[in-house]
Amino acid sequence: LGGSFKVVMTRNSDTFVDLDDRVRIANRYTSGVLVSLHFNEGPRRLAGPETYYWRTDSYSLARRVQRNLEAAAPIEKGNRGLVRRRLRLTRNPVIPCILVECGYLTNYGEQKLLKGTAYRDRLAQAIASAIRDQAALGDAGMGPLPKPVYAPPSTSRDRRE
């Protein structure tokens, strides 16, 4: 993000950080956004990015990120695209929050792309551009916002969809 934003990492190695701890970390930055980055797995036929959001205040950022990733990703087959889903990282923080699946590691073609730093850099630039646009433009140009859905905070006991 080129120094225009403060970036806070919840971890700097391949270690698990409890989801509720991630929410607590995010909640320390009341003027921030939470963008949780992941790589997906699933049936080998699936490929492409997916962006999850739950709250209305996160919709435009999620839509911008998904649009930019779709433009950057050469492979897209059967993925879910932009998805409204109540997860701990899309519901519980007090700041706008999205979860991004950058691609499917179980898809052979996408796995080959994701191994390359140039492709991962292209995805990172797409996400960074969406964050910059959201900060500059807010919800402008993103169409009508979805209606709010009132639901309790997500917990580890929630049924998986």
Residues 75-97 have pLDDT tens digits of 877 678 999 999 999 999 999 99
Residue with tokens 């292209």: 122
- Res. 2 pLDDT band, cuts 50 70 90: low
Greater pLDDT, 157 or 93: 93
Instruction: Please report the pLDDT score of residue 151 as a whole number.
Output: 83
Answer whether residue 127 shows pLDDT above 60: yes
Q: What is the mean pLDDT of residues 95-122?
A: 95
100 touches 58 (CB < 8 A)? no
Look at residues 144, 117, 123 and name the one whose alpha carbon lies nearest to residue 63.
144
Answer whether residue 161 shows pLDDT above 70: no
User: How many other C-beta atoms lie within 10 A of the C-beta of residue 159?
Assistant: 4
Single pTM value for the model: 0.91
